Amino acid sequence: MAISMYQISVPVFLRHLKGLAGCLKKAQTHYADKKYDESTLLCYRFYPDMFNLVKQVQAATDHARKCCASLAGRDAPAYDDNEKSLAELIARVEKAIADVNTFKPAEIDGSEDKSVTMKTRDRDLTFKGVELLLNRSMPNFYFHTTTAYDIMRHNGVEIGKKDFMGG
């Protein structure tokens, strides 16, 4: 049985975006129950040159939705990077889930060899569809979702592997 580009992209992104939303909801409850200032969590980073929690979530959602859009030949909707609360981060992830949910197998399947150009801050990068998914978007997506999870866990949010996995 062959595995399709759709099967290895959309459902995977959705599962882990749902896990990320669940972790953020637990963080929101934890910080409200303890009466902690959630800005301390939002601004937390592991090292000065690393992204904080807000930017980790923004990057994770961007990789998921922009990859799917590129594979499908669509423009990804623009998001404002202006979240200032856990509620706003949760809304962003839920919006990304809704956006990723719009992609159908027929749009993404067969995109393995499609030439896709990604615009970054300082240059354009061109990939074949499968290279974009497996060598750029998916590793970056997992990096940023894992780092967001780790930041929350390090700051006392009671989440575990099942939460991360979206199960």
Q: Is 5 within the bounds of a domain?
A: no
Supply the pLDDT for residue 1: 60
Question: What is the number of domains present in the chain?
Answer: 1
Q: Is 119 within the bounds of a domain?
A: yes
The CA–CA distances, whole Å, from 103 to 47, 88, 100, 112, 156 equal 36, 24, 6, 16, 36
Q: What is the pTM of this model?
A: 0.95
**pLDDT tens digits for range 67-96:** 999 999 999 999 999 999 999 999 999 999
Distance, CA of 90 to CA of 107 (rounded, Å)? 27
**pLDDT tens digits for range 98-152:** 999 999 999 999 999 999 998 888 999 999 999 999 999 999 999 999 999 999 9
Burial class (CB in 10 A: 0-12, 13-18, 19+), 95: middle
- Cα-atom radius of gyration of the chain, to the nearest Å? 16
Q: Where residue 43 sits, what CATH number does that domain have? A: 1.20.120.450
Whether pLDDT at 28 is above 80: yes
Output helix, strand, coil percentages for the chain, rounded to the nearest 5.
60, 5, 35
